[in-house]
Copies of this chain bind each other. A is one copy, B any other.
Amino acid sequence: MSGAILVLSGPSGAGKSTIIDSASNRIGEYYFSISTTTREPREGEVHGVDYYFVSKEEFEEDIKAGQFLEYATVHSNYYGTSLKPVKEALEMGKLVIFDIDVQGHRLVRAKMGDLVTSAFITPPSLKELERRLYGRSTDKSYIIEQRIENAKEEIKAIGEFDFVIINDIIDRASLEFATIANASRLKLSKQELENLVVQWENGLS
């Protein structure tokens, strides 16, 4: 049994991290893919926990070396996912959870589509997103404005996702996320399906 991939996307401020944290005791063991970025750490963010923070030069070297499963430029910064830890976790049969943007979702689906389940997480409205982003106020207002413009674009891709989680009431959103995560583990890859049919006919399982 190989692992499975769950991609989560949605506007910054949708509450993705909070949802994952609050559901973690209901979804069994998983590997949370840590993205690599060239953007500056926010207050409280830790290298190797929230992101791998690297320089633009380091990031571009890794691109050349083919070490990214996906990467993109957002707000003039690079964001990417290193392939190696993901492959290792999948080989161990783990559920790998990605918190990436809609571009990243497209790229991961194109490369590993038969392992992917995806969910778009969003606050109930644009107004509520604005309220949360300004309320959090860890970012300068021009950065918040950029995030809001980005959210308006990202919501247009909502139809590309298997599921949508409206993060209105956190307990409900967390339960919905856990349900989706547990279902995503049951998805079989093409390879697993082929093996299953052969074994099924020959009575090996």
Answer yes or no: A179 CB below 8 A from chain B CBs.
Answer: yes
Residues of B within 8 Å of A68, CB to CB, are: none
Answer yes or no: A89 CB below 8 A from chain B CBs.
Answer: no
Interface residues, chain A, with chain B CB atoms under 8 Å away? 122, 124-128, 152, 155-156, 158-159, 162-166, 176, 179-180, 182-183, 186-188, 190, 193, 196-197, 199-205
Q: Number of copies of this chain in the oligomer?
A: 2
Residues of B within 8 Å of A187, CB to CB, are: 162-163
Q: Is the CB of B125 within 8 A of A158?
A: no
Residues of B within 8 Å of A203, CB to CB, are: 125-128
Q: Is the CB of A124 within 8 A of B158?
A: no
Cα–Cα, bound, A125→B197 (Å): 9
